[in-house]
Every structure is written in structure tokens, then in C-alpha cells.
Structure 1
Amino acid sequence: MRKVIVVQASVKETKIEEFLKLGKIMVNKSLSEVGCLTYKLSKDLNKENDFFFYEKYENEEAVESHNSSEHFKEFINSVMPLLTKEPVIENFNA
């Protein structure tokens, strides 16, 4: 069964540019993963410092592979200090 993940990230106003650079790298690397169907980063229309990742995978194994990848771990370590709060993560079957 396909999996969809939506992540909301609230970024410190002074760190948006840095977050976007890291996010672009994350999107590009994630799209090259086996089993990753879609990986997008979008800005909230109503809040200047809120962003969303939209991710779609072939199956749970592809999600697990993504979450254990080096680029994912590096991204998390780099981006967490840029956020105002813990990201909100929602998982769906598609």
C-alpha cells in the first residue's frame, strides 16, 4: 500500500533562507530514492515561516529506507535548530 506523509515545519524568520537551501537538497536526494514517488516542499500561503513537505512512497519499506538514509539524518540534524517548534507529521495510506 502506498504511503503519504505530510510534514509541517515552522521556521524561525531569520533562518528561512537556510531552511530552503537545506530543503532543496533534501527534495533532490529523496527523489532519487527507490520507492519515492513524490517529494515536494511548499510554503504555506497564509504564514510566512510555515512550510510543508509532501511525500509519497510505494510502500512502508520505502518510507523506512528514506528515514534511515544518511541524507535524511543529516537533514534532521541540520534543520531542527532552525525550527520554532517540533514539526507536525501526518501519515496516510494512499
Structure 2
Amino acid sequence: MIIIHATFHINQKKQDMFLKEIQPLIATSREENGNVSYHLQKDVENENVFTMLEIWQDMQSVASHNSSEHFTSFVAKAKDFLTAPLDVKAFEGKPLKF
């Protein structure tokens, strides 16, 4: 599994527009083949920071997502909301059994 944390530092004045624009990306990404989960979280210590927590089955699923129309369309708009470069971290992992 591929785990991605994409952190957005959002201009406070544009936060409502960011949240409106990202909703279609979330909904459509969750429907993609290979998506395990796709959730936007708000930082409780900094009200202008959000992190997209993504889990994908494999790198092929990530590559397909990254080239999708809904993703590339959102990325083109994202720069209008950001106050810092998008911070993306990717990890390879597997579920643990307890």
C-alpha cells in the first residue's frame, strides 16, 4: 500500500473557496480503482493547515490518480489558495494485524 500525506497551507481569506473546490476531488478520488481511503483533515493547532491522507493499493493506482482530470484540474487551481508550497510525503506500508 502507498500512503500519502499532502499538506496544504491555505490563505485564511481563501479557505472557504479551497474547501468548496476540493470537495469534487475528494468524492471522485474515492471512486477511483485502487483507492483505499482519501480524507481531508484540518490541523487542530493551525487553522490554516489541512492534510489529505490518502491510501492507495499500489504505485500504479497513484500514477493513474495523478494523471486524472479531476486531480490535474484541482492542482492547477491549488496554487491560488496556498501560502506555502504543497508538502507531499509518500510511504510504503502494509496493514498490521493485532
| TM-score when normalising by structure 1 | 0.96
5+ residue gaps, structure 2, are 94-98
Residue 12 of structure 2 is matched in structure 1 by: 13
5+ residue gaps, structure 1, are none
- What count of residue pairs does the alignment treat as equivalent? 93
Distance (Å, rounded) in 1 between the aligned partners of 2:21 and 2:41:
13
Greater share of residues in helix: 1
- Residue 29 (structure 2) pairs with residue 34 (structure 1): no
Query: How much does 1:76 deviate?
Result: 0.4
Letter in 2 for 1:38: S
The Cα RMSD (Å) is 0.6
1:81 is paired with a residue whose SS is coil
Q: Larger C-alpha radius of gyration, 1 or 2?
A: 2
Distance (Å, rounded) in 2 between the aligned partners of 1:23 and 1:40:
11
| TM-score when normalising by structure 2 | 0.92
